[in-house]
Every structure is written in C-alpha cells, then in structure tokens.
Amino acid sequence: MRRRSGTLVIGGSLVAMVILAALVSFVWTPHDPGLVVPQDRLAGPSGKHWLGADKLGRDELSRLMVGARTTLLVGIVSVGVAALIGVPLGLVAAMTWRWLGEILMRVSDFVLAFPAVLLAIMLTAIYGSGVVIAMIAIGISTIPAFARVVRSGALQVMSTEYVVAARAAGRRPVGIGLRHVLPNVTSLIIVQASVSFAIAILAEAALSFLGLGAPPDVPSWGRMLQESQSLLQQAPRLAIVPGVAIALAVLGFNLLGDGLRDLLDPRLQQRRVEVQR
C-alpha cells in the first residue's frame, strides 16, 4: 500500500507541475512566446533564455509554458466531450432495456472503427487543421472507452441489493441512476478520465507531428517536437525539451490514474478499456 500512495504522489505532482506551468503562463512568461528575434536564433541556454531559443529565435521556456496550456486544453476538451457523451450512453446501456444496451454497445464498437488519426485526417480535410479539430477527433474516438467502463460498472451496481430493493420499491429509473448508480461509478469515470487524458496528450503530439494539430503560431509540445526534428543533430535540446515534457505529462496522468484507482476503489480492479496510440 505504501508504494501505491507513492504512485499517486508522483503522478499528482507531475500533473500539478503541468497545471502550474500553464497557469503561470497566463500572467507571466520570460518572453513573448511568439516574438521572433533573428539574433537569438538557436541560442543556447543562458540568463536571457533559460532553455535557449528555437530556430526562429523564440524563447523555448516561454513556448514550453504556453504549450502546457495547449496540452491541457486538448486533454480537457477531448476528455470532456468523451465523458459527456460516453457516460450517459454507458448508463443508458446498462439501465434500460437489454436490446437498447446491445445496440448502443455495437454503436460504440462502430465508433472504435474510426481511430483518432483517421478522424483527424478526415475532419482536417473538411475544416482545416487546428487545435479544435484535434480535440474533437480525439474526443469522439474516446467515447467508447467511457461508455464501456460506465456500462460495466453500472451493471455491477445494478445487481447490488440496494438497487434491486429500490427498483422493487418502484423508484423511477432516472432517480435510481442519479442517486445510486452514478455516484458509484464516479471513481471509474475519474480513473478513465485520467488515463484518457494521457492518451489525448500522445494523440495531440502525433497529430501535430503529421501537421494536423496546432497552427504554427500556437505553441504546442507536439508542434515543437516536430519543428525541432530537423535540428536533432545540431540542437538536440530543442527536441529533448518538448519530448521530455510530453513523456512526463503522460507519465503523470497515467500514474495519477493508477493511484486514484487504488485509492478510490481498491477492491474494484477495473481495467482500462482502451488504448490508442
């Protein structure tokens, strides 16, 4: 158990660091992250640029901090979209007629057939690339994960004695859902959200790498990584900084998810249902 709480602490602190960087960037960054200074092109770390400057002479640290915002935004919106649609779907599938549940689960299988990259390619062709498109694509492809987790959790709750009793007492399904089922699956949702967040960060990086993510003036870790690729031999620092940031953030959210799982419901060893890279 001691190691478990260690997981939670490490994960929590990594996530807190990302959030802190993003929040601070709203009020302060060392430099304007978009300011191009030709003389500072590829400058190494110094008092002026703590992490150096990129090929356009923009301050790396400032971009890293503002990039944390993009990362969090993509995570929050895509996970939010997925949870808002996936959770009700999962509940309905578990609590209403069996045939409807079957159909909804088949629909969610169907959505799984459109992974984030495929959706992003198609949506980008229609609406142009951008952070919003990336968020929606990742969000939609994450819906099935939430629907499945919530459904299986809800099915378990539905078979518990108090729900059976409540139903026998003639309570309305909506009431049962809100009063008994939802609170009992909240821990599952939180854990799934944390894990999906990590996946969203990886997906955003991959999309930016393909040029399907943030536009060139919006600092994003995936974009920074992509832009520094050609400089891997001369200025590896420019790739290492965003690369490490991505890895730490993903690690943080994954550990947080693991830790929360054990903390919130040590008996229910719920499995993560989805992986996408």
Partner 1 sequence: MSLRRPRVLVSVVGFSLLAGCSAGSSSEESSSATAAPSSGGGGAQGPSNDPISIGLVAEPASLDFTKNDGAAIPQAELGNIYETLVKQDQDGKIVPGLATRWTVSPDRKTYTFDLPANATFSTGAKVTGADVAYSIDQVKTKWTIGLKAKMDPVSAVDATSPTQVKVTLSKPSNSWLFDMTTRVGAIFPKSGGDLANKPVGSGPYTFTRWNRGDSIVLTRNDKYWGQKPHFKTVTLKYFKDPTALNNALLSGTIDVVSTLQAPEALSQFPTSKYQVIEGTTNGEVVLSMNNSRAPFTDKRVRQAVRYAIDHKGLIDTCWAGKGQQIGSMVPPTDPWYEDLTKVTPYDQAKAKSLLQQAGKVGATVRLRLPNLPYATACGPVVKSMLEQVGLKVKIDTLEFPAAWLTTVFKNADYDMSIIAHVEPRDLPTVFGDPTYYTRYNNPQLEPLLAAADQGSETDQVTNMKKAARLLADDAAADFLFLLPNLMVADKGITGLPKNAITEGFDLAALGRS
Partner 2 sequence: MILRLLSRLAVLVASLAVSTMVVFGFMVVLPGSPARVALGVNASDASVAQLEQEFGLDRPKGVQYLDWVGGLLRFDLGRSYVSRAEIAPQIADRLQVTLWLVVTSTVLALVIAVPLGVLMAVRHRRASGVLLSALSQVGVAVPAFLAGVLLVALFSVRLGWLPANGWTPPVEDPAMFLEQLVLPVLSLGLVQGAVLARYVRSAVLDVMREDYIRTARAKGLRPMRALVRHGLRNAAIPVVTVLGLQLATLLVGAVVIERVFVIPGLGSGLLDAVANRDLILVQDIVMLLVTAVLIVNFVVDLLYLVIDPRLRSVR
CA 203 to centroid of chain Cα atoms? 9
**Nearest alpha-carbon partner for 250 in 199, 192, 213:** 199
Span interacting with partner 1, options 10-18, 65-73, 125-133, 184-192, rule CB under 8 A = 125-133
Choose the contact partner of 41 out of partner 2, partner 1, none; CB within 5 to 8 A by kind: partner 1
Task: List the one residue from 6, 44, 175, 211 that touches partner 1 (CB under 8 A).
Answer: 211
| Cβ closest to partner 2, residue 180 vs residue 261 | 261
Span interacting with partner 2, options 30-38, 80-88, 111-119, 186-194, rule CB under 8 A = 111-119
Choose the contact partner of 205 out of partner 1, partner 2, none; CB within 5 to 8 A by kind: partner 2
User: SS3 for 41?
Assistant: coil
Supply 275's token pair.
């992986």
DSSP string, 230-251: GGTTT-THHHHHHHHHHHHHHH
User: SS3 for 53?
Assistant: strand
Question: CA-CA distance, 57 to 9, in Å (whole number)?
Answer: 37
Question: CA-CA distance, 120 to 132, in Å (whole number)?
Answer: 10
DSSP string, 75-99: HHHHHHHHHHHHHHHHHHHHHS-HH
Choose the contact partner of 56 out of partner 1, partner 2, none; CB within 5 to 8 A by kind: partner 1
Q: Min. distance of Cβ 211 from partner 2 in angstroms?
A: 9
In the range 128-157, which residues lie near partner 1 by CB under 8 A? 128-130
Q: What is the DSSP letter of 55?
A: T
Choose the contact partner of 250 out of partner 1, partner 2, none; CB within 5 to 8 A by kind: partner 2
Q: Min. distance of Cβ 50 from partner 2 in angstroms?
A: 23
Span interacting with partner 2, options 29-37, 38-46, 129-137, 269-277, rule CB under 8 A = 269-277
Would you call 31 exposed, middle or buried from its count of C-beta atoms within 10 A (0-12, 13-18, 19+)? middle
* 55 near partner 1, rule: CB under 8 A: yes
Choose the contact partner of 55 out of partner 1, partner 2, none; CB within 5 to 8 A by kind: partner 1
In the range 201-220, which residues lie near partner 2 by CB under 8 A? 202, 205-206, 209-210
DSSP string, 147-201: HHHHHHHHHHHHTSHHHHHHHHTT--HHHHIIIIIHHHHHHHHHHHHHHHHHHHH
Q: Which residue ranges make up the site for partner 2 (CB under 8 A)?
A: 3, 106, 109-110, 112-115, 117-118, 121-122, 125-126, 198, 202, 205-206, 209-210, 225, 229, 232-233, 239, 243, 246-248, 250-251, 254-255, 269, 271-272, 274-277
